Amino acid sequence: MRLIFLTFCLLISTNTISAGRTIDIPAPPASLAQWYPPVAKRLVWLHNMFKLRRELQAVAEYARLKDQPRMNKWARQFDMHYRKIGEMVPEWKSELDMDGAQRLASATESGDFSAARQAVRKLNQSCRGCHRDYRAIVTLLYRTPDFSKQTINAGPDGKTRYKKHMEMLATEINRIKIAMVDERPKAALNAFNMLSTGINQLAESCANCHKQTRIGKNYFDADLQAMLKKLGSAIQSGDQRQSGMALGEVAVSACSHCHGTHRVLYDLKQLTK
Ligand code: HEC
Ligand code: HEC
Ligand code: HEC
């Protein structure tokens, strides 16, 4: 049932969306939550999805190779995992193309390769309706990391809230810019030191979640370090133009890239609460 709607109020206006218009996005059934952490240990729902795509691909490939036993084996697995959608989330049973699943089962069992390939094509199309309505919102609700309780090892107690640390970083960036424009290099240098320390502390916090990956280290990589060094020297020599350019580079590398993933999704997620 698509009766519950989340309302997203758009505050900015663009060519196609005018200010004050609301966007309705259907909310997935609550029963989906049990197939995602923290209720489930793994991303059970998502892994079932990956299986579906692989199984349909296998059926199509063995149909092309005219290998009936293998085609049939994968088709049976597909059938089981496709039905699982409705077992896991009963509200979504109506989204399933059970006639299509039946046609695939008959075609693969009787070894009708061309009918099997046609059934695969049809079934692939049947996935789209649910994906169009729900895929993005489900990723947002169940897989987007929550930064509200994240802290950064900074400040007097070593537990600065993410948001507070972010505000500090933005303040220091603007302080650098203001002080350079007004020819106060000492103030700019102070702000630069605060910014560098703050970026360093931020980099350590990536490992709170990115345990196995090298994202934390990749974030504060040689390029970013070189850019910061360049910014520091430009400030020291009082070069407004150079420091302005270096500041822009630092902001893109140290802030915008991560915002593109984490802030956009996190901000959207907050709107759904
Ligand atoms: C009733 C709804 C529904 C149906 C039907 C459905 N899916 Fe999905 N699918 C989802 C949702 C919701 C997600 C997003 C899951 C997430 O991000 O954790 C998803 C994500 C996926 C993904 C992972 C994202 C990607 O594209 O890389 C794959 C693969 C996938 N589905 C395959 C399929 C296939 C193949 C079918 C049809 C045979 C299918 N799905 C039918 C709801 C559905
Ligand atoms: C609260 C946990 C959390 C923190 C803290 C965190 N991340 Fe992530 N990040 C994730 C998760 C989870 C994903 C994977 C998202 C997905 O697959 O949907 C991710 C994905 C990413 C991605 C995109 C995917 C990739 O692997 O390239 C980038 C870039 C990224 N994080 C950068 C950072 C940086 C830089 C920091 C530190 C400044 C950071 N993250 C801190 C949880 C976190
Ligand atoms: C993890 C990757 C990540 C990196 C790297 C990052 N940010 Fe953020 N930023 C976030 C997230 C997540 C939020 C939302 C936090 C919240 O609202 O609790 C945010 C929010 C902000 C905000 C809004 C705070 C508010 O008052 O709502 C500002 C300003 C900001 N960041 C500035 C910066 C600056 C400047 C840098 C670079 C020096 C930076 N950020 C680097 C993830 C990142």
The residue whose CA is least distant from atom 34 of ligand 2 is: 206
Tokens of 57: 């691909």
Distance CA 218, CA 195 (A): 18
Distance CA 237, CA 235 (A): 5
Tokens of 211: 């345990």
Pocket lining: 145 vs ligand 2, CB cutoff 6 Å: yes
Task: Give the other-Cβ count within 10 Å of 60's Cβ.
Answer: 19
Distance CA 174, CA 183 (A): 14
The residue whose CA is least distant from atom 15 of ligand 1 is: 46
Residue in the structure block whose two tokens are 């077992």:
87
C-beta separation of 4 from 10 below 8 A: no
Tell me the pLDDT tens digit for each residue of 157-176: 999 999 999 999 999 999 99
Q: Which of 173, 176, 177, 148 is nearest to 163 (CA)?
A: 148
Which atom of ligand 3 lies at the shortest distance from residue 161's CA? 18
Tokens of 94: 């109506």
Residues of the chain with confidence (pLDDT) below 50: 1-14
The pLDDT, as a whole number, for residue 6 is 41
Tell me the pLDDT tens digit for each residue of 100-158: 999 999 999 999 999 999 999 999 999 999 999 999 999 999 999 999 989 999 999 99
Which atom of ligand 2 lies at the shortest distance from residue 144's CA? 18
Total residue length of the chain: 273
Among the bound ligands, name the one nearest to the CA of residue 40.
1
Q: Which residues contact 160 (CB under 8 A, 6 or more apart)?
A: 151, 152, 153, 154, 168
Which atom of ligand 2 lies at the shortest distance from residue 202's CA? 38
The pLDDT, as a whole number, for residue 12 is 41
Residues within 6 Å of ligand 3 by CB: 147-148, 162-163, 166-167, 169-170, 173, 199, 202, 254-255, 258-259, 262-263, 266
C-beta separation of 151 from 204 below 8 A: no
The pLDDT, as a whole number, for residue 251 is 96
Phi, psi of 90, rounded to the nearest 5 degrees: -55, -35
Residue in the structure block whose two tokens are 């197939």:
35
Distance CA 67, CA 233 (A): 68
C-beta separation of 74 from 58 below 8 A: yes
